[in-house]
Each structure stands twice: as structure tokens, then as C-alpha cells.
Structure 1
Amino acid sequence: MNVILTILLCCLMSASAEAKPHILQCLHDIAERHFEAGSNLVIYYSMGVHVNLHAPSKYVKSLRQVESNLLQMDIHTWDLVLADFYLSEKWTFLHVQSHDEHNSKYALGRKHGSYILIAAHGQIEEAMEDIRQQIINLKVRRDWNPRGNFLILLLQTDTLSEDAQKKLAAAIFTEFWKYWVANVVVLTSCPETRRPDADSEKDILPVLDAYTWFPYRTPASCGEITEAILYDRWVLDKEGNGHFLYNVSLYPHKIPKHFHGCPLRVSAFEYPPVMMRMKTDKDGTISYEEGIEVKLLHEMVKRTNMSILYRPPPPDNGYWGEDLGNGSWTGLPGEIIRGYSDVALDNFWYKCHLINEMECLVPHFEDSARWFVPCAKPYPRWTSITRVFKAYLWLGFLAAYIIVALFMWIVVKVHYKIRSSDTHNDAYTNIIKCFLNFWAVILVESASDDPPRVLSIRSVFLMWVLYCWAVNTVYQTFLTTYLVDTGLQSQISSEEELLRSGIEYGVHKAVLFHIPHLASKHYPRRITCVTFEECQARAAIKGDLAFVFSTLNMAYVIAEKYMDGNGKPLICKFDEVISNQIISTPVQKGLPMMGEFNDVIQYVIEAGLLEEWLKNIKYKATLTSAKDFSLPPGEYTKLTLEHLQSPFYFLFLGYLFSVVALIGEMVLRWKAKPHYK
């Protein structure tokens, strides 16, 4: 099939060797000089293209002559134009017609390099609507390139005056500038009033006018379109050969390096450590005084000599935006797509590959999403006196006390039964007194010093004394440590432990867009964080919520807001990373100063300034929160009533039991006495 198509195109070219239209020469010349070889070339036109170009026959001897002395670009001529581009094999050729409903679904896999758009309407309104519709159809494609070279061919404009053609060209430039397209050339037929004024000495005849514009021609223009400029003209000599009169580049560099204070519209909201200390003046002007991306933005506008115009934060907690499902977004991406702002900041996780209507600057930082959970709470101080030993050790100690005391009582009782002549010591024959004596040994108090003079009995007593001495030594050694630092309860340290813990976990909508698996059934207790501050506060204060969020942001927020009086964090993170994310700056697609901004970002990264800025900001946050710390000065800690809660609690508990025992004894004694009426 390709062979047949090639043979057919060659036949068309051979048949027209003596009738090659001058418009074909003009398009071929522009393509050869200005369209990069190997790039994608898009030709877009409406069906039924037809043009009439008037010219005296003496200047077009080698061109095809038809009735009424007209040059017509009909379907046959248009086929020759397409054949010429196809056979050159210099560009990847994409031929688009306005009726093609599937053209937006087709993509070449890389950006388009050049465009040729043809409008077949002679009236300004109709031509503008035709061009506008073509732009809309092209810009929805993923390979749309607003930085490409655009050639607009207006076929039926020979009846328009020069002023009308300039107005039409200016209107076209205005329409293209809505999408930041600057490299546009409009080709129109020369007005009929110019034909009698041909230069007879040079034997040239103007045929096509090439209009262009310069968005920053004057320092105060800031991209405003003032007028179209007649930049060059396609002329014919008497042999019918065409060329450009001035032979200048039709696509000169139009974007300056300095923009003379032109405003850069920026969408942002307060989000540490990248955008901090937002202030609003009386006139409504918004400014940010601190932050990594604030400093980076200042470097970019300093390089390009622009002024910053901050927009108010997105309404309804839009933040990083939500995909509404119909190609539109809320939040920062929505403001970029709708053209409200030129640049968006605030730790923007890269998603320009998912949103066709905007593009991103080179990444300038790396972030990660992690689980953040409440840090383990300290044990209550009243438990300090009991936490020196584990529960099973206390039970073992109690069991040893009961067993040894009973054993001692039984042995003594048996001894006195065998040797009834010995003096009885009721300190060990009375079971209650025996238990009290062994309890006194535990408390390092004096006990009865006259146990039976039997080696085995006194050996048991000595072993109990040594055992209690060892236990007391260990207990008193660690008691002070537990009084000062009660220790921490169990810390959730993995996702498995989190899922078993039973607490809820919050995920912000912006995070869920990048990590969709968090919405699966594997996380049944997931809730949506309306604001990230809400989830942070709940996790730190109530301690009943875990959440997934940015490591970069939380490192600063924890250091500044969520530290306890001892300088320990209230929110902890898992070591495992859920997802690594690169941070970039979204801009409108085709933003002219994007190249300069990328250069600044590259220089800042190579200089290590971003890490240095972040380090300084974290250090200031630590100093700010340190003023509320209650850490003791020096190496030692003074014990206060707060530290001795546990001993006093047990003291009062002992007093309570003593009073109850006293009252009980008195009641029993009173009941034991006879009462006479």
C-alpha cells in the first residue's frame, strides 16, 4: 500500500512540474528554513479549502493558467502541497482534518514541532472562528506544543484591505496568546490595491504578506498585543519564481530574558516549610515572608526581573486540588488550568503527566509519604513504684513470701511438738506473727531475734533475709530511675501493628490521588481529612488517629508545634516509606519564562541552597518550640512532689487501710463485750 501511495504522489508531482503553484513554493521555503528536520509537522485544515490569487499572466509564465486569469488552490493543488511535504521525508507528517472526531486521541509520542493551520474563510469573524476551533481541537492533544512554530494560512483574504488584514492577524495573535503561543506567522494574500504598484525595475510582484508580532516589544507591554507587524513578503519575479523580499527569519527569538517588572501571578497557601508567614496588607496585597519555595521564587523573579502577585489561597480547602472527573480540577491545578495564575507553589507532588493542560518546571526537591502515629504516652507516675518489676516477678515474690512464712511456721510447730522441753517463742508458732515477722524482713525492719536454736530453722530464716536484701537492693537501685522517667507505653511501629491497633487512620484527598491503594478494603477504618491540620492536631492531642502525609511538612510541623514539655515529639513516623514523590512547580502550558526558571532551579540545586534553607528553617522552628520546654538545667534532676506521686499514693492507701482496720477492730471489740439492758 505504501508503494502504491508513493508512486501516486510521484505521478502527481511529475504532472505538475510545469504548473507548480507559488503557494507551494512559499510553504516549502518556510518549512525548509524554519521547521526542524525530524520533528513532527501537523497540517490542519477545514474541508473544502479553495483560494483565488489574482496575478497578471506575464509574471507567471511557468504557472498554470486558467480562465479569468486566476490562480486557484483547489483540492488538486492541495494534494500537491501534501505530496511535497510527504516526499521530502524530513518531518513526521500528521495530516488533520476538522471533521476528524478522533484526532485528539491520536498522539505521536512526542511534542509537535511545527503547525500549519489553514482557514478558508474570507470574513474576519468566520476566519477567527475557524482558527479558534482548530486551536481548541489541537490543544487537547497530549502532544500539543505551544512553543512550536505556527504558520497560519488565510486563503480568501484578497478582498480585505491592508488594515483589515492587520486587524485579523492581531486577532489571531490574541487568540494564540491565550495559550502562550508566541511563534505565530500569518500568511495573507497581498491586497489588490498593491498590485499596480509593483516595482517594474526589479520585476517583482508581491503575492503573500507574512505578519508576526512581538509580545514584549515595549517594556510596559507585558505581553499585551498592540498590533500585527508586516514582517516579510513573498514576491514573484517575471519568470514566476518566488522568494521572500527581505529573507529574514520569520521566527526570531521573541521572549526576552528580562521582563521589566511584569507581574507573575502565583497561587499558593500557607504550608510550612515551603510557604510561611502569609500577610495581607490593607490594600489586599498578599505576601509570604519565609519558606523554601518563597526563597526559590524570589531567585526566579530576580533572574527574570518580574514582580510577584500572590493570589488568595484556594477556597474551601482546595489546596492541591481534586479531579472532578470531567477534565477540570479544583485548588491549585484548577487555577493554573483556568488561567487565573501562572505558577503554583506549595510542595506540589508531580502530576503533570496526568494533567494535560499544564506542565511542570524541573523538580527541585524530593518528598515521601509515610504513616504518622501518636507517639507512645508515658506511664502514669503513680505506677512508678510498681513498674520496677514485672507483674510475674511481683507474683513470684509474693508466692515466695507466703511459702517461706508457712514453711517456717510449720517447721517451728513440729519442732516444739518433738521437743516440748524447749522454751516456746510464739513469734513463730502464731501464724499471724510469723507472717508479720517475715514481712518486717521484707521492709528491712527488725524481726524476732529468738527463733528456735535449730540449724535448719535458722538457715531458712537467714536465706529469707539474704533473698529480701538482694531484692531490696535491686528495687531501690532502679526506683529512682522510674520516679524520674516513668518510661513509655507500647509504640505502634509498623503498618501491621497499626491495623491491629483498632485506631482510625486519616488520608487527605490530595494524598489519596497519588496513593490510590489507601482507599482499598485493606484499610477499613479510613476517614478523610478535610484539612491536614485537623488530622495532625487529633493525632497529637487525642492520640486516637494515624494519618499518611508528607515527611517534609511533618518534620517541620512536629518540631514547631507538637513537642511536649520535655522536648519529645507527640507525633512519630514509621521508618517504612509508602511512596516517594518528587516536588515540582506547575505552570501554565507554554509559559514563556519557563526556560529561565528551569535554569535558576538547576543553579540553586547545584549550589545546595535548598538543603541549607530547609536546615535554617528547621533550626528556627526548634528554637521557637524550645522556649516552652521544662527540661531541668544541668545533668541532675531535682525530685519534686510530682516525681513522688507513687510513694505518696501508696502511703495514703496504707493510711486508709489502717483506718479501716482500726475501725473494724473497734467494732468487733465492741460487739464482743456483753451489753446489759
Structure 2
Amino acid sequence: MLQKKFCEDGPCRAAVRSVILGAMADYLVSVRTTVLSVVFLAARTLAACSEDNGCFLSRSEAGDLNLTSAPLIGTPKALPLATELNLRNLRSGQLPVSGLGDGGSFTEVVQEEDQSLSRLLVAIVTGEMRQCVLVLVFDSSFEGSGSLKQLVALPNPKQLVKVAGPVDFEKVLWSSFSCRGYVFLLSDVTPLLTFADFGDYAWDYDGRYLIIGSSKSELQALSSTKKGRKTESLAGVVKYPQRGVWGIYCNQIVWAEGVQRLTTWQGSKFTTTTPLYPDLLNDLHGTSLTVVTFPWEPSVIYKESKKDGTQVRYGRDIGVVETLAKVMNFTLTYTEPPEGELWGNKLEDGSWTGLFGFLERGDADIGVGNTFVSNVNGRLDVVEFSSPYDADVSCFLGTRPPPLPRWQRILYPFQLSTWVAFLVGLLLSGPVLCFLARVWDVRNEEHSSFKSLLNASLYTLGLHLREPQAYLPSRRSTQVFVSFLWMYTIIIITGYCSNLTAFLTVARQPPSIDTVKQLYASGLNVAGLGYFFGKALQLSSNQYLRGLAERYEVHTRYEDIWTEVRRGTAVNLESRKTLQYLVTTQLTSRGVTPMRIIKECFSPHEIGVTVQRGSPLRRKFDTWVLRMVEAGLIEHWFLDSLRIAKKDAMENQKNDNTKTGDGKEDTTEGEEVEQVAVAGVRSRSINLDHMQGIFFVLFLGYVASGLIFAGEVVMGRKHAGGDPGFD
């Protein structure tokens, strides 16, 4: 009709026919060129496509066809080229070609692979992430794909994030209180690799990850990044050359590098029933983990072996890590921070020294040494802590004031108010007895000795001293008075004598510092190792503790602290159990110590195993640490450490002591100190040093009687005219 309408004559129709035939010829040439290009490229790269490699067809941004090869795992030796198509590259190219061998049209291949991938993703999510919040991260190549649509249609709560570069991954919500699954559909995983190798933040180390669109080598690169090597539940899907066949790989984290194949997806099912997110930490296959620690009694104690002279470690914290090594099947390699660094301090550039520095840099996997579960100085920015296995408080250690003079011990059974009442009663008893004996004694019934004030006073004094008296009162009034006086003296003297023995054998300490307020008022400095306790004082809500923070002194060696404490110019601030150990094993001689722990403590804290930030070991450690606590192993290791250390200290002290000829320690009576040990007071015989108070009283009696005797001699000479004789 067109020809009839526009070209009525023959030449015109011939021209139109020529144009149409020319266009058809050009189209056929174009199609032939396209097919030949594919065949040429296939032939050119066929040598690179070995039995372990697949050939991937794609179109570049300029429209050129590319045929490349990449490693494939588990592929058969002979595969049709049409089945060796990488879905990631096909989706980005959208190649509208056909006739690619016996596998069918290009569009059919793409649709079939997309459907197979969709079934795979739905199977993984419904089987492994059914109760999880889904985070779907995709790029432009997967936008609008059937795989993404199938995932969006699932009932899980979800977040969708489209990414084009590493910065876009910061849009992801990387934390959740419940299970969280992360599915990455990426045609290019390079941005993800860049993001995963930058810092430890913005990542959910407890989440479950599934990577789509990567090769095995790219999965291995992801598992080697800073975040990837600490992520236990990391799986990836790799396309195999066969249609509808995909390989599933998982991370190996601690006990091996790279990834390992778990199972294969063929068409619509897995070839095995292997869990896609296995527990990789139940058995670490003897992997060597590095533990950074340092001597810190009683948590970590170093001792030289008597058998071969090698250095062995024991203590509460060593017991914890060695038990973890046994139940999780890994070996321990110990290392130490440089001398004086201990736990470490935060530097101006944000990095850390000491134990925390080793964990921050990745030089160690585990850190122990009485580490407090705390965020002081920003510790949680570089490390994480396991569940606590012990608790403690921060206390002050100071010098014990010298005991009161021994001669005062006879006064200790009564307080001052009791002594005043006792003396008043003693002074009044004699005059009252004399008064009752004299008044209304018209018949002269009462003994004459009671009518003398001096004799009556001596009589009542004898009753107070339990001394039997030769005379008894005769009158009713004096008899009643003396009867009550007997009861009074029996009770009060019995109470005095029952306490006297204890006070004679045990030294009495003068009033000492027991509260933080008293410590602040004393003006003493506070000495501690590192900056931790200084920060704890500054952050306290107690005004006196904040005041002590201004007098806090930082030290790196305990010997320097002890020098100041013994001098009486400072107190040591440390955890209570550490101070108890030091007092028991190193600051005690023959059962007595010059040091004491101030009663009022502050800042209760918990103690746990320290690991790298994001370390997968923490979750498994939590489980086993709680079992150790429930079994009572923590307290057992602590008490065992005290027992061994105390035994070693006694042996060392015994070897260092000067020996006499018979092998006994050379001690004098003045060196017989009070045997106040940790377990209690040991019974000792009462020696002259204990009884010096009563001999002091006897000496005063000699002096007083001598003075009175001298006075009597003088007065007698005056009355006798100088005759020194006595009647």
C-alpha cells in the first residue's frame, strides 16, 4: 500500500525495494559480526579457561564484549560455554544475543540463573535467618532483580540500603538487640572490601552475613580484612559454571585463614545438610593464641620451677585461660608488655601502650592481669571484656600505727569512764564504812578498826583486791553495806581479770584512719600504678575522693610505692584482693604486719578476660567463664594461689633468717611480737614483756613506800630528838 501510495511508477518501486534489501543486509552483517566477535573472543581466551577455571561473558560500558576467566571450585572438566556465565557480569551487561551454543538464548540463561539464585537466597534466609532482622545491601546491578524482589517479599523486618561506594555502607544499622542477618547483593565487592578493612567500628560482629556476586578469591580477601577475620558467621555464594549450581563458602576465622566450601546448591536444593553457619569456636584444632600478661599477684604469679629452673605461671587468671584452652582446644603462647607499662595508657594520638596496646594492634589475642571491666580512659574503644568471673573493690593500704606502750595494758580492760567510776567507788567505800561504824554506836559494838578512816579504807581496798579480811562488821547497818560491797567487788574484779589476760598478750592499736573522710583530713598522698585509679577518684561522686584525686601520684613500680607507704607519707590505692595478698605474703613478718587496709573502700568493679574489639572469642568465653564461676573454680584458684605464695614466702624468709647454733631463729624477748596471723591469734606463753605493766605498778609501789618511809624517818627524828631508833 505504501508503494502504491507514494510510488506509482516502476522505478520508484525498484528504488524502495533496493533500500529495504540494503537495510536487511546491513542488519545481517551486524548480527554476523556480533556472533563472530563472541567466537573470536572465546577462542582467544580459551587457553586461560582450564579445567579449574570458568569463562565469563560480559559487555563493557563502551559496548564491547568481554570474555574473561576466573577460578571455579568443583566444576567438571567439560562444560558448555553457555553455562559458564557469571550472573554478576551478565546482569551488568544485559546482552541481547542468542544462539550461544546448545544452552539456549542469552535471556533464558539469565532468567534461569536469576531464578536459581532467588530460590537459593530464600532457602538460606528462611532456614538460617527466619527470626532475624534482614539488612539487604545492593548496588545498581541488582536493583530491580528477581532475587532482591524475592527477599523483599519475605516477612522478616528489614532495611534496604543501596550502595555505590564504601561511604554508603555507613547507612547500614550495624546493631540490634535481636538476631540480625546481612545480605549483600553486589556486582562489585571492591567497596565492601575497602569498608571492611577500615577500623573496627560500623560492623555487627555477632550478625550473620551472606555475600552474593563475589568469587572465591574475593571472599578470601573479605575474610582477611580487619572486620572479616573477626566475623564468625560470614558466608558467601560463588557461581559455578553449570546452570543453577552455586557453591557456599564460610569463614574460618581463628583456626585457619581464608574460606572453606560447605555445600553446593543445585537447581532448587543443597547437595548436603551441612549447617551454613557452623559453630567454628567449639574446636580450634590446637591453634596457638597469644596471651599478653605480666606478674600481678595473686592473679598472675611467676615462679621458677624446682625441676628444670624454667619459669611457670599460676594464679586465678592463669587458671581461667588455661581452662579455656583445654575446653576449646587451643594452645597458649605468653608474651609481656614492656617493663612498667602493665595495662597501658592512652597516648595523645589515641593509641594505647601496655596490655591494651597489644590487643589494639593485634599482637595478642587474649589479655589477663586482674583487668577491670571498665571504660575508664576509653578502654572499650579498643578492647572488649568477657563475662566477669570475679568482683572486687578499690581500697587504701597504709601503715599501721605503732601499738600503745605495753605498760599501759593493765588499764586496757576498762575504759576511762569505767575506771573513773571504779575509783570513785573505791574512794567512797572507806569513808562510808567508817561513818556507819562511828555513828550511833552507843554500845560500842563495832570493831575499833572500822572506826578508823585509814583502816576502813584499807579494809575496802582489800575487798576490791579479793583479800580476805580478819574482822567482820557487827552492826546491822555495816553488815548490809559490806554485803553489797562484796557483791560489787566480786563482779567488777571478775570482769577486769577476765579481760586482763587478753590485753596482756595482744597489743592494742591506737585509733587509726578508717574512713575516706579521715584519710582526706590526714593530708596523706595516694600512690597507685598507672592512671586508672586516678581517673576513678576523679569520676567519684564523693567529694573527699575527688579531693584525694588531686593528691594522686602515678608510679610504674610497686617498690617505689612501698617506700612511700612505709615512710608514712602516702597510702597505696589498689584492689582489695591484691592488697590482701601483698599484706599476707610480702608485708608480714612472724605473723605481724606494719600495714593495714583502711575499712572504707569504694568503686566496686568486676574482672574479666580481655580480648580484641569485635573478637569472636568473647561470645564463647562468656559461656565457659560462667560455668567456671558456677563450679567454684575461681575462688579455688584464688585461695590456692594464696596458699602457695604464702608457703613460698615462709620458705624464703626461713632461708634468709639468721640461724643460731641449734638451728633455731635468733630472737630475743623484746622481739617476741604479737602473733596475729591471718588465721587468728596463736597461743603464746606470757613473758616479761607482756607483764611489764604490773612490774611498773610494783616499781611505783616501791617508790611511794620509800618516799613515805623517808618521811616517817624524818618525822621520827624530830619527835625523838634525833634518836634514829624505833619503838
The answer to whether the superposition gives a TM-score over 0.5 is yes
Given that 2:395 and 2:574 are in contact with CA atoms closer than 8 Å, whether structure 1 keeps it comes out as: yes
- Unmatched runs of 5 consecutive residues or more in structure 2: 1-106, 433-456, 468-474, 654-673, 711-727
The 1:30/1:561 distance shift into structure 2, 3 A limit, reads farther
User: CA offset at residue 379 of structure 1?
Assistant: 1.9
2:415 matches 1:355: no
The 1:389–1:359 alpha-carbon spacing in structure 2 relative to 1, beyond 3 Å, is closer
Residue in structure 2 matching 1:223, options 253, 256, 259: 256
Matched, 1:180 2:265: no
Q: 1:638 aligns to what SS in structure 2? A: coil
Counterpart in 1 of 2:544?
522
**Letter paired with 2:223:** F
Asked whether the equivalents of residues 146 and 179 of structure 1 are also in contact (C-alpha less than 8 Å), the reply is no
Larger radius of gyration: 2
Q: Note the C-alpha offset of 1:339.
A: 1.1
Shift of 1:586: 2.4
Which of 158, 162, 171 lines up with 1:92 in the alignment?
158
Which range is displaced more, 501-510 or 612-621? 501-510
**Deviation of residue 583 (structure 1)?**
3.1
Residue in 1 that maps onto 2:184: 116
Q: Distance in 2 between matches of 1:177 and 1:136?
A: 6
- Match runs of 1:409-488 below 5 Å: 481-488=502-509
Counterpart of 1:367 in structure 2 is: 391
CA 1:79–1:547: 2 relative to 1, 3 Å: farther
* 1:133 equivalent among 189, 194, 197: 194
Change (3 A) 1:176 1:107: closer
> In the aligned structure 2, how far is the partner of 1:260 from the partner of 1:382?
70
Distance 2:461 2:273 in 1: 110
Task: Give the conservation status (yes or no) of the 8 Å contact 2:292–2:358.
Answer: yes
Residue pair 1:180, 1:592 contacting (<8 A) in 2 also: yes
Instruction: Verify the 8 A CA contact 1:373 1:492 in the aligned structure 2.
Output: no
Among 26, 30, 37, the alignment partner of 2:129 is 37
Q: Structure 1 CA distance, aligned partners of 2:122 and 2:676?
A: 76
Are positions 1:550 and 2:563 aligned together?
Answer: no
* Residue 56 (structure 1) aligns with: none
5 Å matches for 1:8-407? 22=111, 25=115, 28-35=118-125, 36-38=128-130, 39-44=132-137, 73=141, 78-80=143-145, 83-95=149-161, 97=163, 98-100=166-168, 103=171, 107-110=175-178, 112-116=180-184, 118=186, 120=188, 127=190, 130-136=191-197, 139-141=200-202, 144-145=204-205, 148-151=208-211, 153-154=213-214, 167-175=217-225, 179-181=229-231, 183-185=233-235, 204=243, 210=247, 212=249, 215=252, 222-225=255-258, 251=276, 253=278, 255=280, 257-277=282-302, 288-313=312-337, 315-319=339-343, 321-322=344-345, 328-351=351-374, 355=380, 358-361=383-386, 363=387, 365-372=389-396, 374=398, 378-387=403-412, 390-391=415-416
**Contact (CA 8 Å) 1:40, 1:91: kept in 2 or not?**
yes
The residue type paired with residue 372 of structure 2 is: W
Aligned residues: 575
TM-score normalized by structure 1? 0.61
CA–CA distance in 2 between the matches of 1:631 and 1:99? 67
Distance 2:520 2:328 in 1: 51
Q: Distance in 2 between matches of 1:474 and 1:604?
A: 51
1:61-104 deviations in Å (ceiling 9; x for gaps): xxxxxxxxxxxx3xxx5144655433323252252644459648
On the 8 A contact 2:538/2:545 being kept in 1, the answer is no
- Whether the 8 Å contact between 1:215 and 1:224 is mirrored in structure 2 is yes
Deviation string for 1:551-589 (max 9, x for gaps)? Answer: 443444443334464457942463x77454443222235
Sort the Cα spacing of 1:186 and 1:466 in 2 relative to 1 into closer, same or farther, 3 A. closer
State whether structure 2 residue 611 is matched by structure 1 residue 587: yes
Deviations 1:295-348 (A, max 9, x none): 2322222233322101114653332x5556876544433322321111122333
1:275 is displaced (CA, Å) by: 1.8
Could you say what secondary structure the match of 2:286 adopts?
A: coil
Q: Say which SS state the counterpart of residue 230 (structure 2) adopts.
A: coil
User: 2:565, 2:302 → 1: CA distance?
Assistant: 23
Q: Distance in 2 between matches of 1:476 and 1:551?
A: 38
Q: How far has the Cα of 1:475 moved from its partner?
A: 7.2
Instruction: Kindly state the Cα deviation for residue 132 of structure 1 after the two structures are TM-superposed.
Output: 3.4
Question: Is the Cα contact below 8 Å between 2:527 and 2:554 reproduced in 1?
Answer: no
Q: Which amino acid aligns with 1:490?
A: P
Unaligned stretches of 5+ residues in structure 1: 1-17, 51-72, 122-126, 155-164, 191-197, 236-241, 408-434, 446-454, 664-677
Root mean square deviation of aligned Cα: 6.5
Contact between 1:567 and 1:626, CA under 8 Å: does it hold in 2? no
- TM-score when normalising by structure 2: 0.57
Query: Aligned equivalents of 1:482 and 1:229: distance in 2?
Result: 76
Distance 2:464 2:631 in 1: 68
Q: Is the 8 A contact 1:211 1:230 kept in 2?
A: yes
With a CA cutoff of 8 Å and minimum separation of 6, indicate the structure with the bigger relative contact order: 1
Cα gap change, 1:290 to 1:318, in 2 (>3 Å): closer
**Cα distance per residue 1:527-571 (max 9 Å; x no partner):** 436359469847974566556543443444443334464457942
3-state DSSP of counterpart to 2:229: coil
| Equivalent-residue separation in structure 1 for 2:487 and 2:518 (angstroms) | 40
Q: Deviations over 1:108-142 (max 9, x none)?
A: 44564224163638xxxxx3xx333321468412x
Task: Summarize deviations over 1:257-278 as a string: whole Å, max 9, x none.
Answer: 4444321111122223332225
